Structure 1
Amino acid sequence: MKFNRINHVAIICSDYYKSKKFYAEILGFAIIHETYRKERESYKLDLRVGDFDQIELFSFPNAPKRPSYPEACGLRHISFEVDNIENTVQYLKDKLIVVEPIRIDEFTNKKFTFLSDPDDLPIEIYEK
């Protein structure tokens, strides 16, 4: 068996319009397709990340909150690679996004930091 790559990451949000603005307008991910599924009272927004990767952003009525702090068992965070972390952090701060201080990965010596999406999903920014 051989896996080629991650096909997509699915995220469930509590406020569709706030999360759509965050991922599409602030983070700049291109909208591929947006669907409202009336029978589920749910939106599904497909977003392009880079050249090949994709996020599926879902909204569901009354979705339970994700336990993040203290960290819960399960998916820990999503990470996006950038060319220049200082420029990325400044851009996010200019958009009033709270970003943790830049740190150095002790194993790779690469720069990284964290921020949260509108539902407090931890997002890592990792320098190439």
Structure 2
Amino acid sequence: MLNLRAIHHVAIICSDYDASRAFYTNVLGFTVVAEHFRAERQSYKLDLALNGQYCIELFSFPDPPARVSRPEARGLRHLAFEVDDLDAATEWLRQNSVTFEPIRVDEYTGKRFTFFSDPDHLPLEFYER
């Protein structure tokens, strides 16, 4: 049997490297582990950590094709982040001019959550612990 230990990272390709770098570090609070410019590919690779845990590779490529993400397109549906206080988290989004959907309640767990988007409209979620 395969013995998976954890999800190691999520790779995201962005269209505007500076905007996405600022969003994931300044708005969502990820820390930079490493940043590399790969001249042969005209591409950045930014390794990001959350609470000391490496978890996102942010890539830039010249003219990446758009990917359908809504409504309910096949593939990765969204990336969810656990928060302690959804009201504080959404207030932080509001202060940083990030729009989010009305807060909903998970019908199975009773937990509150909301969706918002990164600069490339990748669907993201805050899910209250």
Deviation, 1:71, is 2.5
The aligned counterpart of 1:108 is 109
Deviations 1:25-58 (A, max 9, x none): 1111000000000000000000002342410000
- State the alpha-carbon separation in 2 of the partners of residues 70 and 96 from structure 1: 23
What is the aligned length? 128
The aligned counterpart of 2:64 is 63
Deviation, 1:99, is 1.0
Contact 2:47 2:54 in 1 (8 A): no
Bigger mean CA deviation after superposition, 86-95 or 51-60? 51-60
The aligned counterpart of 1:43 is 44
The aligned counterpart of 2:118 is 117
- State the alpha-carbon separation in 1 of the partners of residues 32 and 112 from structure 2: 28
Deviations 1:64-100 (A, max 9, x none): 0110222221111100000000000001101111011
Gaps of 5+ in 2: none
Q: Secondary structure at the match of 2:94?
A: helix
Measured on the aligned residues, the alpha-carbon RMSD in Å equals: 0.9
Counterparts of 1:7-86 in structure 2 under 5 Å? 7-86=8-87
Counterparts of 1:88-99 in structure 2 under 5 Å? 88-99=89-100
TM-score (ref. length: structure 1): 0.97
Q: Give the 4+ runs in structure 1 shifted more than 2 A.
A: 50-53
Q: Secondary structure at the match of 2:26?
A: helix
TM-score (ref. length: structure 2): 0.96
Gaps of 5+ in 1: none
- State the alpha-carbon separation in 2 of the partners of residues 46 and 121 from structure 1: 18
Contact 1:6 1:53 in 2 (8 A): no
Query: Which amino acid in structure 2 is aligned with residue 9 of structure 1?
Result: V
Q: Secondary structure at the match of 2:110?
A: coil
